[in-house]
Structure 1
């Protein structure tokens, strides 16, 4: 169709009967590599181009509008802590979880977290003292922090409100994710 060719013209150019071409097109027969190459040549494309979009998901993106991330309760969630999961239902090989975390004036103190994976934090708003292991970090907008999440870690002190940050947990394997 892209080249303005009819089935009869492709059939003639590829030296393949119209019946056979119809069977190939409808998946009723498996053509040889030689036949596929003849068809590609008749269409003026490479053999690899014939398979370019084969088995490609129609939409490879997940769009979550601002303020519409799924609110979740994670182990250790306290009053005044809001977790919005920004990607979900991504299939059986889900290896990361991105959260938008908001803390307000009434936010309770966190107990230390320890879980599988690597965690990345990116500060969006406010000022926060964050502890990883025995180290303390002051996080301000634009700052980031990456660490092995099996170390004890937590927001230690709210220094300037409101506080919002991204926390992305990357799991090294599917087994790590399933343990959460």
Structure 2
């Protein structure tokens, strides 16, 4: 992010908070951040991490689209949010051997939760078939896998992608001798 976007984020958060007649402490408590951190963000002294940013947006009862709709994008300095690999957080999912998941970004909106994860699938990894209450998109970054989707077996090679209804039982299978690396995007239905 360049300086203009950093400045925009803090100013926009403050503008939205004041337009709703909310006190700094109210938004801080609702978003789970300290009053001091929220003040530094609003004053352009720091930029929030993605989870903190989304918590603040939710605390303001807003969504990213409305948050950024007033931002003027300059083609010479586009807006972006970068998450470095070392910032990925390991996550535990259902019992498995050889499935190593890392959370890149996750956020809940009114009716749906968006979650992006990175999966390192070791050779001969094992687990039972699973279901997910939502849609899934996977992109095979590296390696070759088989994907069991219901009764169908789908062979995937590096660069292939698959979009499917996660409520169908499914399983990633790595029968190769190398680790497969997979980007998984979940669009989960909020109950």
**TM-score, scaled relative to structure 1:** 0.57
Aligned partner of residue 126 in structure 2, secondary structure: coil
Q: Label 1:56 to 1:103 Cα distance change in 2 as closer, same or farther (>3 A).
A: closer
Computing the radius of gyration over CA atoms, which structure comes out larger, 1 or 2?
Answer: 1
Specify the alignment match of 2:190 in structure 1: 174
Q: Structure 1 residue 112: deviation in Å?
A: 0.1
CA contact (8 A) 2:102 2:119 kept: yes
Specify the alignment match of 1:80 in structure 2: 98
Runs of 4+ displaced beyond 2 Å: 55-63, 90-94, 156-160
CA contact (8 A) 1:129 1:159 kept: no
Aligned partner of residue 56 in structure 1, secondary structure: helix
Residues 41-72 of structure 1 deviation map (CA, whole Å, 9 limit, x = unaligned): xxxxxxxxxxxxxx836999653202421110
Specify the alignment match of 1:56 in structure 2: 67
Output the CA distance in 2 between the equivalents of 1:124 and 1:160.
Answer: 16
Between the two proteins, the alignment pairs up a number of residues equal to: 119
The Cα RMSD (Å) is 2.8
For residue 135 of structure 2, the aligned residue among 102, 106, 118 is 118
Output the CA distance in 1 between the equivalents of 2:99 and 2:174.
Answer: 13
Aligned partner of residue 108 in structure 1, secondary structure: strand
Residues 101-151 of structure 1 deviation map (CA, whole Å, 9 limit, x = unaligned): 00224x531200112101111000111111101111111111011111011
CA contact (8 A) 2:97 2:126 kept: no
Q: Label 1:144 to 1:91 Cα distance change in 2 as closer, same or farther (>3 A).
A: closer
Output the CA distance in 2 between the equivalents of 1:143 and 1:156.
Answer: 15
Specify the alignment match of 2:173 in structure 1: 156
Q: Structure 1 residue 92: deviation in Å?
A: 5.2
Specify the alignment match of 1:41 in structure 2: none
Structure (1/2) with the larger helix percentage: 2
CA contact (8 A) 1:126 1:163 kept: yes
